Structure 1
Amino acid sequence: MARLDVPDGPGGEAAMIWTLRPQLGDMVERMIRGAYQQSVLPADERELARMRIAQINDCAACAGFRARSVLDAGVPPELYDNVAAYASYPGYTPRQRLAIEYAERFATDHASLDDAFFERLRESFSDPEILDLTLCVAVFLGLGRSLTVLGVDQSCAIDL
């Protein structure tokens, strides 16, 4: 149950909370759509980073969410099965593994994202891709934690 008085309406609390501040709601929707519809990253890499954030945030709704655009991109359901064990799971590509590691360290120990890590990252990702990954991770982490702190039911009402 939300810690704020959220009106009932379509999409549940996660959609309706933004009616308290419509301008901010518009901004949030643009951020989410940007992460999904304007990202230069392959959907699988972005999704693996998102899933690691969902696990770290302990958000069951986020962990269970699959955007239509991701399904349409052909991201297989089994891709999500080994995210927490990414470092030892042989089924991920080096880029996928780096995307997960970046998301994890961004969320849990951002100060450890040092020059040595960025050297590894830049061996596989272009600067625009790194910026894209950074912003996607920031959106996933920030919005997920914001809704959790506010006690909002996090079923996603946006068709991405």
Structure 2
Amino acid sequence: MTSQARVTNSHAPTGNIIRDSALGLVPETLGNYMDLNRQLWEGGPLSPAEIEIARIRNARKVNCVFCKSVRYDIAQEDGLSEDRVQMIDDDYEQSNLTDREKLILAFTDQYLNDPAGLDSALKERLRQVFTPQELVHLSMVVAFFNGFSRCAVAIGGMPDELPVMTISVPQ
């Protein structure tokens, strides 16, 4: 991880953590991405806690320091505690997460490692637990967060670690 940013935002701070980042240098497109972010959190069939589980798993796999440190308030309000977040590690199968939550992690890992390589057993388990709409939503969530976390890592400028911080879905 590099603590030297490749790109920085020199504009006056707005108080919005995303708009104040280097992503704020392209406000013409950032607004659309933030609208999609809000729709993914608020408009789909998955719960905020389920979305957060996939988002945090992606962050840990990509090693985005910022994304690993963020907790969305709506996921916390939906019941995702920090104790549960700590179970989103490589030993999640032995954790107290629900079977549905474990499947979200298994799907996220598969999506990040080899999206075309879903074996028949995982496909069947996913079909038994999730509706087709939920699976599409989960795919979109992982794709969106993976793209943004990779962008953050590529831009650089992150410290080695950050404290856990709670934010709201950006407006």
How would you bin the TM-score normalised by the shorter chain?
0.7 to 0.9
Instruction: Give SS of 1:66's match.
Output: strand
Contact persistence 1:18–1:24 (CA under 8 A): no
- Relative distance call for 1:23 and 1:72 in structure 2 (3 A) is same
Residue in 1 that maps onto 2:19: 15
Residue in 2 that maps onto 1:2: 5
Residues in 2 aligned to 1:152 and 1:143: alpha-carbon distance in whole angstroms: 15
User: After superposition, where does 1:57-72 map in structure 2 within 5 Å?
Assistant: 57-72=62-77
Residue in 1 that maps onto 2:127: 122
What's the offset of the Cα at 1:92? 1.4
What stretches of structure 2 of length at least 5 have no aligned partner? none
Residues in 2 aligned to 1:11 and 1:54: alpha-carbon distance in whole angstroms: 23
Contact persistence 1:86–1:92 (CA under 8 A): yes
What's the offset of the Cα at 1:115? 4.2
Residue in 2 that maps onto 1:140: 145
Structure showing the higher helix proportion among its residues: 1
- Relative distance call for 1:13 and 1:7 in structure 2 (3 A) is farther
Contact persistence 1:14–1:157 (CA under 8 A): no
Residue in 2 that maps onto 1:101: 106
The percent of aligned pairs where both chains have the same amino acid is 25
More displaced, 134-143 or 80-89? 80-89
Given the two structures, how large is their TM-score scaled by the length of structure 1? 0.85
What's the offset of the Cα at 1:121? 0.5
What's the offset of the Cα at 1:13? 7.3
Given the two structures, how large is their TM-score scaled by the length of structure 2? 0.80
Residues in 2 aligned to 1:123 and 1:20: alpha-carbon distance in whole angstroms: 44
User: Which one of 94, 100, 114 corresponds to residue 88 of structure 1?
Assistant: 94
More displaced, 91-100 or 114-123? 114-123
Residues in 2 aligned to 1:77 and 1:5: alpha-carbon distance in whole angstroms: 31
Residues in 1 aligned to 2:38 and 2:57: alpha-carbon distance in whole angstroms: 19
Alpha-carbon RMSD across the aligned residues, in angstroms, is: 2.5
Give the partner amino acid of 1:88: Q
What stretches of structure 1 of length at least 5 have no aligned partner? none
What's the offset of the Cα at 1:60? 2.4
